[in-house]
Amino acid sequence: MRWPISQALFRLCVLRNWDVSSGLSRETSLSIRTTAEKDPTMSQDTIKYLLSESDQPKSWYNIQADLPELPPPYLHPVTKRPATADDLAPLFPMSLIMQEMTREREIEIPEPVRDVYRQWRPSPLYRARRLERLLDTPAKIYYKHEGVSPTGSHKPNTAVAQAFYNMAEGVKKMTTETGAGQWGSSLAFAAQIFGLELEVYMVKVSLEQKPYRGGLINLFGATVHASPSELTAAGRAILAKDPNCSGSLGIAISEAVERAVTTGAKYGLGSVLNHVLMHQTIVGLEAMKQMELAGDDPDVLIGSVGGGSNFAGLVFPFLGQQLREGGKKRRVIGVEPAACPTVTRGKYAYDYGDTIHMAPIAMMHTLGSTFIPPPFHAGGLRYHGMAPLVSKVVELGLAEAVSYHQTKCFEAGVSFARTEGITPAPEANHAICAAIDEALRCKLEGKSQTILFNLSGHGHFDMQSYIDYFSGKLKDIAVSQEEIAMALAGLPSAAG
């Protein structure tokens, strides 16, 4: 069947050598037919690599089973002795505490969780062919697109699991913190599905920058408060010192933990903890299957790091394979903001997980629990610490960290959006920036390497940050060594 076209358009098709019946050039049509004859399921020019719902992983992966050395145990914030399951019980349901401590390699995903996952999982893997052409690089760039979830990021992967386990143990209410709002909106989505009440403390500067994220939290039935707030003793103490405090994830965690402990609710954390990272490994497990579909294998793995969950979700399954089988050694890069350089400029030490010192003490890379990052736009990366397991893989030499200023990251995000047609979140721009740098390195060295990064979320709620970038209002913020040293001076005595 021929589509009706004007005579002028027909002449254009003839001049451009297009096949009028298909809308493609004769050469392109021939190429597609030839490729299809060789492999009817996959074109050499494939953009998306898709798995069916039946291909969805049935278990999460726990890297603790394969690491040659584990992080030291959590410590109780008061006694500074190793924390027990009973110490964590006021905050978490026992099923999640057991996941936090287990060394089993695989944890089965409950069917009710998998049933919710099916709404967007498996998520697509893309080959960034137009970005490759823009960079004129011999590198092949792939990205796992987690922005297709109901709330637009990777966060529902653990939010759905946490809400389910809380519901299963009879919990009626949860509390949580959120930075950019991706975690808060994701847990609100999950809490609504499993019939839980939810109270969210969102970093004040992020709520001001991204009011629609707050609206999304309300849309899913949860309550959101700007943090620091007057609703908790922790918030009031911070505001007494600085009435204009812009907030931080550490402060918001303190408020959410206090509300959980004082109201009989349970607390949910969107990153950092072992079980959170484990829930995110569904990303990397799917990506391994999709890279097989592409007939490729990554040389370089990249993820942005704030607390570490989206990074770990992508790279831990690949690292586990490497540790078990002793196979291909990949370069693994965590990318953090220069305005909150936890791994690149922080100290590997025991530190509190929150600002008011109510949460467990963990061995991690830290800038100090009292460090309040400046108000840059990647709100999800404004945390003083790092996941203990991510910190450990860095200390073991299995991964490395780099940092970038935000204007360079937004420049990379704009190039990505204009070639790939997807608007990335400011947090994801950090991973894009590193992927571009790696691709340009390959060009300089004349190497054809395969790069895979996690596109952790879309930026549809972050357009003000792009407006600020285009208008020149977005500024790079330097953090002085004196600021970091002052915060590190407050490390707990357990740090030695």
Do residues 280 and 158 touch, judged by C-beta distance below 8 A? Answer: yes
Residue 171 lies in a domain: no
CA dihedral 303, 454, 186, 59 (to 10 degrees): -100
CA distance 312 to 304: 10
- Residue 28's pLDDT is 37
Structure tokens, 73: 């145990």
- Residue 56's pLDDT is 96
- Residue 309's pLDDT is 96
How confident is residue 333, by pLDDT bands cut at 50, 70 and 90?
very high
Residues for the chain: how many in total? 496
Residue 262 lies in a domain: no
Query: The dihedral of CA 368, 340, 458, 299: what is its sign?
Result: negative
Per-residue pLDDT at 18 exceeds 60: no
- Residue 155's pLDDT is 97
- Residue 34's pLDDT is 37
- Residue 36's pLDDT is 36
CATH of the domain at 387: 3.40.50.1100
Residue 222 lies in a domain: no
Q: Count Cβ neighbours within 10 Å for each residue of 159-188 and write b for 16 or more, e otherwise.
A: bbbbbbbbbeeebebbbbbbbbbbbbbbbb
CA distance 38 to 43: 9
Calculate the average pLDDT of the chain: 90
161-187 pLDDT, tens digit each: 999 999 999 999 999 999 889 999 999
Q: Count Cβ neighbours within 10 Å for each residue of 250-260 and write b for 16 or more, e otherwise.
A: bbbbbbbbbbb
Residue 56 lies in a domain: no
Order of strands, edge to edge, in the sheet holding 223-227?
223-227, 197-203, 173-178, 266-268
- Residue 64's pLDDT is 97
How confident is residue 494, by pLDDT bands cut at 50, 70 and 90?
low
406-426 pLDDT, tens digit each: 999 999 999 999 999 999 999
Residue 75 lies in a domain: no
270-299 pLDDT, tens digit each: 999 999 999 999 999 999 999 999 999 999
Of 327, 277, 331, the closest CA to residue 449 belongs to 331
- Residue 2's pLDDT is 38
- Residue 281's pLDDT is 98
- Residue 103's pLDDT is 96
Residue 310 lies in a domain: yes
Residue 19 lies in a domain: no
CA distance 406 to 362: 28
Residue 138: phi, psi to the nearest 5? Answer: -75, -10
**Amino acid at the residue 60:** W
- Residue 376's pLDDT is 76
25-65 pLDDT, tens digit each: 444 333 333 333 444 445 578 999 999 999 999 999 999 99
Please give the full DSSP string across 312-328, using - where no structure is assigned.
HHHHHHHHHHHHHH--P
Average pLDDT over residues 225-251: 94
Residue 29 lies in a domain: no
Per-residue pLDDT at 22 exceeds 70: no
**Between 377 and 482, whose confidence is greater?**
482
- Residue 115's pLDDT is 98
Q: Is 43 exposed, middle or buried (0-12, 13-18, 19+ CB in 10 A)?
A: middle
**Between 372 and 435, whose confidence is greater?**
435
Q: Count up the domains in the chain and report the number.
A: 1
Please give the full DSSP string across 257-308, using - where no structure is assigned.
HHHHHHHT-EEE-SSSSHHHHHHHTHHHHHHHHHHHHTT---SEEEEE-SSS
List strand residue ranges (DSSP E) for 78-155, in order.
Answer: 106-108, 125-127, 140-145
Which segment of 49-58, 304-313, 380-389, 464-473 scores lowest on mean pLDDT? 380-389
3-class DSSP state for residue 48?
strand
Q: How many CB atoms lie within 10 A of CB 468?
A: 16
Q: What percent of the chain has pLDDT over 90?
A: 83
61-114 pLDDT, tens digit each: 999 999 999 999 999 999 999 999 999 999 999 999 999 999 999 999 999 999
- Residue 158's pLDDT is 98
DSSP H helical ranges for 221-265: 233-241, 249-263
How confident is residue 355, by pLDDT bands cut at 50, 70 and 90?
confident
188-224 pLDDT, tens digit each: 999 999 999 999 999 999 899 889 999 999 999 999 9
Q: Which domain holds residue 465?
A: 112-152+281-487
- Residue 328's pLDDT is 85
Average pLDDT over residues 229-246: 95
